[in-house]
Amino acid sequence: QFATPSRPIPVVEAPEVPLVTGGSVRYANFDHAASTPCLRAAADAVAELLPRYASVHRGAGYLSAECTRAYESARRTIARFVNARPDDAIVFTRNTTDSLNLLARALPEDATVIAFDSEHHANLLPWKRLIRLPAPDSASTAVRSVDDALKVVANDGPVLVAVTGASNVTGELFPIAEITVLAHRYGARVALDAAQLVPHRTVDVTALGVDYIAFSGHKLYAPFGTGVLIGRSDWLDAAPPYLAGGGASAHVGDATNDVRWQTGAARHEGGSPNVVGAVALAAVCETLEQADRAALTAWEETLRTRLADGLAAVAGVRQLHVFGADSPRVGTVAFTVDGYPADLVAAVLSAEHGIGVRDGLFCAHPLTRRLLTEAGVAPTHSVGAGCGTDGRPQRVATAVRASIGLGTDIDDVDRLIAAVERLATEGPRWNYSLVDGRPGP
């Protein structure tokens, strides 16, 4: 009775995994927010390229020329996928972390960055002159608090507002469009961390108006090792090259300081690039462009609400929210189970049920700590998940995160709900001991 998408997008098949209680089961991947399984189209593109690849840009051979074309064509495809402006720089990086570090190094010396405490560490730690705003408790608070900060710093030089499209902890959508309109009113720029947004929603850089966007291939159904930074080229062209070396330099003279750097993407792509990754990511973008993304989003929402409602019906389960249970979000659910540390919950789900989730603070420590405190989760809930100032393991509260993607079906969701319910009512079926500081079978 569920309106499954009429044109599902195939990902590589999930493997059978062994259960500690005996037998095996199809792996149910609920860790899409960390990395997604490869799209079939991306795997096919890689298989096709492997026998034919050669170094790009500097080779005269047939395969070099072919690969250079494929690499540059991938760049255009990815730019089109997010509807980048014609004059945006499209720089290939390793991942979102790399993209945001590149942008941080390219900012003018006197630039101030404004970011919420709720950001992933990749969008907090690279920034030098950073104003950290408290994690907002509603979309309108978010806009107001950026407004207040902009009032203070707008006249002190260039300003960048760095904000996520969707929380990697709770999946909640941030009011990007409103923040961008506001920032531009003050002459500030906006960098969108789209690592969690692009896999779930169509993103139109031109329509949104964000000045920069960063995302990762491995969260978008392509293999590891490829990300992008797309955006305004002026600061990027004025900055020192991110990776000095061949490809980034246009001329190297005999004197040590006689170097002229490239402009455009090449300036920051020193060294031999990851052509295979770029081509795979472009294959994903082409596939998604042709898909009915509205139908996919609706389907994901069906799965997410089924999961959230199913978990809500289990006594002792608490779900985490930044803005509130009803705020719009992508298919990510963060929760705890009373009486069971999050790392034990994750171990039970894996070992007894073949379900892969993630536990911890999700590289968003300030936010997750706050949400756990607000949810009343005891700090003794888990062991070893953080390091005290003395370097010894510390008792902290942590959470479980289940994230949905193109490989998820109704059956997976029901398996997860049933598994959590069983744990909450009957406890673990196995005696778990600590293996490398984590519960293991």
Alpha helix locations (H) across 224-274? 233-238
Check binding of 31 to ligand PMP (CB under 6 A).
no
Contact 218, 35 (CB under 8 A): yes
Half-sphere exposure of 240 (CA within 13 A, CB side): 7
Distance of CA 214 to the CA centre of its chain: 9
Q: In this chain, which stretch among 90-98, 174-182, 278-286, 338-346 interacts with ligand PMP, using CB under 6 A? A: 90-98
Contact 11, 42 (CB under 8 A): no
Contact 49, 70 (CB under 8 A): yes
CB of 7 to ligand PMP, least distance (A): 27
CB of 166 to ligand PMP, least distance (A): 7
Query: How far from 129 is each of 125, 151, 165, 254, CA to CA, in Å?
Result: 10, 16, 22, 37
Check binding of 36 to ligand PMP (CB under 6 A).
no
Number of neighbouring beta carbons within 10 Å of residue 275: 21
Check binding of 170 to ligand PMP (CB under 6 A).
no
Check binding of 408 to ligand PMP (CB under 6 A).
no
Indicate the residue among 96 and 145 with the shorter CB distance to ligand PMP: 96
Site of tokens 């089109």? 80
Alpha helix locations (H) across 337-409? 342-353, 365-374
Question: Which of 29, 36, 77, 95: binder of ligand PMP (CB under 6 A)?
Answer: 95
Strands across the sheet with 399-403, in order?
317-319, 332-337, 399-403, 358-360
**φ and ψ at residue 91, rounded to 5 degrees:** -105, 130
CB of 182 to ligand PMP, least distance (A): 21
Query: How far from 203 is each of 11, 33, 213, CA to CA, in Å?
Result: 21, 17, 10
Check binding of 332 to ligand PMP (CB under 6 A).
no
Compute the Cα dihedral for 413, 415, 418, 419 and give only its sign.
negative
Q: Which helix (H) or strand (E) holds 280?
A: helix 275-290
CB of 318 to ligand PMP, least distance (A): 22
Check binding of 193 to ligand PMP (CB under 6 A).
yes
Q: In this chain, which stretch among 37-45, 92-100, 291-299, 338-346 interacts with ligand PMP, using CB under 6 A? A: 92-100
Question: Which of 29, 112, 145, 164: binder of ligand PMP (CB under 6 A)?
Answer: 164
Q: In this chain, which stretch among 41-49, 190-198, 201-209, 272-280 interacts with ligand PMP, using CB under 6 A? A: 190-198
Indicate the residue among 199 and 341 with the shorter CB distance to ligand PMP: 199
| Known catalytic membership, residue 67 | no
Q: In this chain, which stretch among 89-97, 149-157, 174-182, 403-411 interacts with ligand PMP, using CB under 6 A? A: 89-97
CB of 198 to ligand PMP, least distance (A): 10
Q: In this chain, which stretch among 117-125, 181-189, 288-296, 297-305 interacts with ligand PMP, using CB under 6 A? A: 117-125
Check binding of 120 to ligand PMP (CB under 6 A).
yes
Structure tokens at 23: 């037998």
Question: Which of 45, 322, 363, 417: binder of ligand PMP (CB under 6 A)?
Answer: 363
Check binding of 343 to ligand PMP (CB under 6 A).
no
Indicate the residue among 97 and 302 with the shorter CB distance to ligand PMP: 97
CB of 120 to ligand PMP, least distance (A): 4
Indicate the residue among 92 and 340 with the shorter CB distance to ligand PMP: 92
CB of 196 to ligand PMP, least distance (A): 5
Check binding of 102 to ligand PMP (CB under 6 A).
no
Given 38, 67, 285, 363, the catalytic residue: 363
Indicate the residue among 175 and 428 with the shorter CB distance to ligand PMP: 175
Q: In this chain, which stretch among 8-16, 95-103, 290-298, 321-329 interacts with ligand PMP, using CB under 6 A? A: 95-103
Question: Which of 101, 112, 196, 350: binder of ligand PMP (CB under 6 A)?
Answer: 196
- Rounded CA-CA distance 71/56 in Å is 8
- DSSP type of residue 265: G
Query: How far from 207 is each of 82, 177, 204, 211, 265, CA to CA, in Å?
Result: 10, 9, 5, 11, 23
Contact 180, 193 (CB under 8 A): no
Which amino acid, 228? V
- Rounded CA-CA distance 57/174 in Å is 39
Q: Which helix (H) or strand (E) holds 213?
A: strand 212-216
- Interface residues with ligand PMP (CB under 6 A) are 95-97, 120, 122-123, 164, 168, 193, 195-196, 216, 218, 363
* Catalytic residue IDs: 363
